[in-house]
């Protein structure tokens, strides 16, 4: 793997499978009475969040602590950033503190890439603007793989041993529905799922699709009802109205009628199909409460799997190379 994880495009097929297989091994720790490993003892991980977050920040914090790393949580609110300090000056401060890894979430696309130029430690993108969120895509792929029984880890040997084609997502049909235009999750998922062999379909109103979506490795549709019977996985995205500065659809009610997943629409899915959502959910808008809480929903699993996947990323970026020598 590279020293940083800024984009899902940074991951080759082998890199992605290595992360997923390593996460498979590390997930076993959650079943132990003591859920910690000494792998990153003495290392410092900084959570540098310029945007509000609950799931992602706590997930990274839990992952680092389970690997025995020291964790520093840095929030832009109440810090020198609120006084006008630049990202570069903040980066130099972190560098002086000896941060081994910086997990950054920023409202500006490209911020993690710039940060990687200023610090010697590893940089992990936890979401930048409407650009990417690679660890979310990894945990989504991990969840899909487990639900469809495609985990290739043997349970013995070092993390990542025994990888093979069976551990990928070849041939699975994944439909991503909703606000693609403002979604960093959608972009990262399209890139990673394509790398792992899945067929990805984006379904949204034309106004909520990016201008250059034709260049993405996926197909595009506008009719949710036509897509559902052919989908193995349906991933619902929330409307990011905080990022909208224009009227992209007539009303929320109209959007929900055309693109919301309710019980009637879920009945159109194949028997083994699953429903995903990266959260936070707008119940009653893009997803009905009954669907979100159904056995076919993986929403809670995605949160739990996020810790294992982020442990794997931290292990491979900070500890894996030394451990394999």
Give the active site residues.
Answer: 55-56, 83, 105, 133
Question: Is the separation of the CB atoms in 25 and 311 below 8 Å?
Answer: no
In 10-153, which ranges are E strands? 44-49, 70-75, 101-106, 122-128
**CA 91 vs CA 96, 255, 256: distances in Å:** 9, 41, 42
Q: How far apart are CA 8 and CA 22, in angstroms?
A: 17
Question: Is the separation of the CB atoms in 315 and 39 below 8 Å?
Answer: yes
Tokens representing residue 72 in the block: 């520093």
Tokens representing residue 57 in the block: 């920040």
174 Cβ contact partners less than 8 Å away, ≥ 6 residues apart:
144, 189, 193, 198, 199, 200, 201, 231, 232, 233, 235
Question: Is the separation of the CB atoms in 50 and 106 below 8 Å?
Answer: yes
Q: Which of 163, 160, 170 is nearest to 194 (CA)?
A: 170
Question: Is the separation of the CB atoms in 153 and 204 below 8 Å?
Answer: no
Q: How far apart are CA 120 and CA 199, in angstroms?
A: 37
Number of Cβ atoms within 10 Å of the Cβ of 249: 18
Question: Is the separation of the CB atoms in 125 and 134 below 8 Å?
Answer: yes
């Amino acid at each position: 793997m590279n020293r940083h994880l800024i984009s899902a495009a940074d991951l080759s097929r082998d890199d992605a499978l290595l992360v997923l297989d390593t996460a498979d091994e590390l997930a076993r720790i959650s079943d132990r009475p003591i859920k910690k490993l000494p792998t990153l003892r003495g290392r410092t991980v900084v959570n540098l969040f310029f945007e509000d977050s609950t799931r992602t920040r706590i997930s990274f914090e839990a992952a680092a602590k389970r690997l025995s790393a020291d964790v520093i949580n840095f929030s832009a609110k109440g810090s020198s950033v609120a006084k006008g300090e630049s990202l570069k000056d903040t980066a130099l401060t972190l560098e002086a503190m000896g941060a081994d890894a910086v997990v950054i979430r920023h409202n500006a696309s490209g911020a993690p890439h710039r940060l990687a130029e200023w610090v010697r430690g590893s940089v992990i993108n936890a979401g930048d603007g409407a650009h990417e969120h690679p660890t979310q895509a990894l945990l989504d792929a991990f969840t899909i793989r487990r639900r469809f029984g495609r985990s290739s880890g043997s349970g013995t040997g070092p993390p990542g041993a025994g990888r093979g084609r069976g551990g990928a997502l070849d041939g699975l049909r994944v439909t991503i529905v909703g606000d693609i235009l403002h979604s960093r999750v959608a972009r990262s998922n399209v890139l990673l799922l394509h790398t792992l062999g899945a067929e990805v379909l984006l379904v949204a109103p034309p106004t909520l699709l990016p201008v250059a979506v034709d260049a993405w490795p996926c197909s595009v549709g506008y009719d949710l009802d036509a897509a559902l019977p052919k989908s193995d996985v349906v991933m619902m995205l929330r409307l990011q109205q905080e990022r909208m500065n224009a009227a992209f659809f007539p009303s929320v009610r109209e959007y929900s009628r055309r693109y919301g997943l309710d019980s009637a629409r879920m009945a159109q899915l194949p028997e083994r199909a699953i429903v995903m959502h990266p959260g936070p959910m707008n119940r009653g808008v893009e997803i009905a409460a009954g669907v979100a809480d159904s056995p076919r929903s993986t929403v809670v699993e995605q949160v739990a799997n996020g810790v294992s996947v982020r442990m794997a990323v931290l292990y491979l970026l900070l500890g894996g190379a030394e451990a394999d020598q």
